[in-house]
Amino acid sequence: MKLDTTKILIVVPLYNHAATVADVVSKALETGYPVLVVDDGSSDGGLKTVQDLPCFTLQLPRNSGKGAAIKAGAQYAAQHGYAALVTVDADGQHNPLETVKLIAEAEKGRWPAIIIGAREMIQDTVPQSSHFGKVFSNFWVRLECGCDLPDTQSGMRLYPVAEMRALNLSHSRYDFEIEVLVKSIWRGLDARSVPVSVHYPPADKRVSHFKKGRDNWRLTKLHTALICRRLLPLPQKQIVEEKDPQPPIVDVKHPWQTLNRICHENASPFWLAVAVWCGLFLGTLPLIACHTVVIIYFCCRLHLNKVAAVAASQFCMPPIVPALCIELGHYMLHGEFLYELSWQRWLIEIPQRVWEWFLGSLVIGPLLGCTGAALVYFTSLRFVLLRSKKAN
């Protein structure tokens, strides 16, 4: 299936960017594609600045968020027969002329797909919070859907209209772009990136409507919900044809190939460290007689290295780590350590000990996990660097 490039609409969500939107729309029109400006309840008259330009306009009655503006643009696109839309921010951060890069990538690869314009954030004026936000978002999206994408927060994207509207999307502000990306991948869409330039004005000239406290809290809630949904063993209904089938987890006909593949999957230094953290944290929990099964399940769902996680969890075998967790949990509840080693204390009062074990593991687990993850990360990174030097 190929993208019909004659049926593409550029959508510019607008909220109080009257100073820049006309220039953005003018450049977008230079691409030859039709442009729709969706005014999300602006109060600065931004829509009036584009009234003399040959673009379409749509005005929402009240400010409902960037996601709501994109949804409105998708509805307009569907009603007028467009197959895809490209979103470009109205603040001038993106170069609308580069939308052709996203369209070219959509033509080359599998379709339908979401194509992201990965921002090359090399300017000195890029705030550190934007660098951190991008890395933070990429990490969680990688866990949620297994895709290594360089910029999951970019607002410059190409969406397939019909497939996007088929998703159950409940968020409508800055969290919309993460939700639509993750749920699209879950439902079978491909996701790819192309590098694009980005312009960040100096801080005193920058206009941003991102509220760090409120919007970061929304994103935190969203990622928590997506991770929880990912961990549920429930299938996702596919809205496109399946990709090439993945090899089975275990191939009984080729056991050594299977073992080699399992050992090498998701084996970069960073993701090995994450797997080790997961294995150590889960290993400290009182998951009596089912630690290995739970760890393998978590690693499968979150796309982590199973061998590293299971191996790390063996450091949490009884008696040392469980005893430490119980002692800490007892101290947290009673203000004193448990010194009595009687039958009554350790066997008859099993429910109390398990509860103390759980409480203590919530402290010891993350600390032990961070220690193990740091050791594995720096050790494996050293091996990677040595191998690279030998190869050169």
Instruction: Output the pLDDT for position 258.
Output: 53
Instruction: Please indicate, yes or no, if residue 345 is contained in any of the structural domains.
Output: yes
Domain boundary among the residues 231, 266, 298 is at 231
pTM of the model: 0.86
pLDDT score of 267 more than 80: no
If asked whether residues 160 and 270 sit together in one domain, one would say: no
Copy the structure tokens of residue 185.
Answer: 């991948």
Instruction: Please indicate, yes or no, if residue 238 is contained in any of the structural domains.
Output: no
Are the C-beta atoms of residues 304 and 278 closer than 8 Å to each other? Answer: yes
Query: Which of 298, 276, 281 shows the shortest CA–CA distance to 358?
Result: 281
pLDDT score of 178 more than 90: yes
Instruction: Output the pLDDT for position 235.
Output: 84
d(CA 113, CA 340): 62
Instruction: Please indicate, yes or no, if residue 239 is contained in any of the structural domains.
Output: no
Instruction: Output the pLDDT for position 186.
Output: 93
- What's the start-to-end Cα distance of the chain, in Å? 42
318-347 pLDDT per residue, tens: 889 999 999 999 999 989 888 777 766 666
Residue with tokens 């699209």: 184
Give one DSSP letter per residue of 185-246, joined into a string.
HHTT-EEEEEEE------GGG------HHHHHHHHHHHHHHHHHHHHS------SS---SPP
Instruction: Output the pLDDT for position 253.
Output: 57
Instruction: Please indicate, yes or no, if residue 242 is contained in any of the structural domains.
Output: no
Question: Which of 66-70, 73-77, 242-246, 343-347 has the lowest average pLDDT?
Answer: 242-246
Instruction: Please indicate, yes or no, if residue 96 is contained in any of the structural domains.
Output: yes
pLDDT score of 152 more than 70: yes
Instruction: Please indicate, yes or no, if residue 348 is contained in any of the structural domains.
Output: yes
Tell me which DSSP letter residue 44 carries.
S
If asked whether residues 205 and 321 sit together in one domain, one would say: no
Q: What's the chain's average pLDDT?
A: 87
Instruction: Please indicate, yes or no, if residue 296 is contained in any of the structural domains.
Output: yes
Query: Which of 8, 191, 153 shows the shortest CA–CA distance to 86?
Result: 8
Give the C-alpha distances (Å, rounded to integers) separating 345 from 281, 331, 338, 339. Answer: 26, 14, 9, 10
Instruction: Output the pLDDT for position 68.
Output: 93
If asked whether residues 275 and 385 sit together in one domain, one would say: yes
pLDDT score of 143 more than 80: yes
If asked whether residues 126 and 264 sit together in one domain, one would say: no
Instruction: Output the pLDDT for position 389.
Output: 78
Copy the structure tokens of residue 253.
Answer: 């006909």
Question: Which of 48-62, 238-252, 275-289 has the lowest average pLDDT?
Answer: 238-252
Q: Which helix (H) or strand (E) holds 348?
A: none
- Report the number of distinct structural domains present in the chain: 2
1-12 pLDDT per residue, tens: 788 888 999 999
191-244 pLDDT per residue, tens: 999 999 988 766 555 566 666 677 778 888 999 999 999 999 888 888 877 655
- Beta-strand relationship, 157-160 and 113-119: antiparallel
Question: Which of 155-169, 198-212, 260-274, 338-352 has the lowest average pLDDT?
Answer: 198-212
Copy the structure tokens of residue 187.
Answer: 């439902």
Which CATH number covers residue 220?
Answer: 3.90.550.10
Of the pLDDT bands very low, low, confident and very high (cuts 50, 70, 90), residue 351 is confident
> What average pLDDT does the segment 375-381 reach?
91
Q: Which of 19-33, 111-125, 187-201 tops mean pLDDT?
A: 19-33
d(CA 259, CA 262): 5
Q: What percentage of the chain has pLDDT greater than the value 90?
A: 58
Residue with tokens 């993460």: 178
Instruction: Output the pLDDT for position 290.
Output: 92
Query: Which of 172, 270, 268, 261 shows the shortest CA–CA distance to 222?
Result: 172
Question: Which of 198-202, 263-267, 374-378 has the lowest average pLDDT?
Answer: 263-267
> What average pLDDT does the segment 169-174 reach?
87
If asked whether residues 97 and 220 sit together in one domain, one would say: yes
Of the pLDDT bands very low, low, confident and very high (cuts 50, 70, 90), residue 249 is low
If asked whether residues 81 and 225 sit together in one domain, one would say: yes
If asked whether residues 214 and 265 sit together in one domain, one would say: no
- Number of residues that this document lists for the chain: 392
Query: Which of 64, 105, 82 shows the shortest CA–CA distance to 11?
Result: 82
If asked whether residues 164 and 98 sit together in one domain, one would say: yes
Question: Which of 169-183, 247-261, 351-365 has the lowest average pLDDT?
Answer: 247-261
In terms of residue numbers, what domain contains 188? 8-231
pLDDT score of 278 more than 80: yes
Could you give the maximum distance between any two Cα atoms of the chain, in Å?
A: 86
d(CA 190, CA 77): 21
Instruction: Please indicate, yes or no, if residue 162 is contained in any of the structural domains.
Output: yes
pLDDT score of 288 more than 90: no
Domain boundary among the residues 231, 263, 285 is at 231
Using DSSP, state whether 119 is helix, strand or coil. Answer: strand
If asked whether residues 86 and 216 sit together in one domain, one would say: yes
> What average pLDDT does the segment 360-374 reach?
96
If asked whether residues 287 and 213 sit together in one domain, one would say: no
295-314 pLDDT per residue, tens: 999 999 999 999 999 999 99
If asked whether residues 316 and 181 sit together in one domain, one would say: no
If asked whether residues 127 and 223 sit together in one domain, one would say: yes
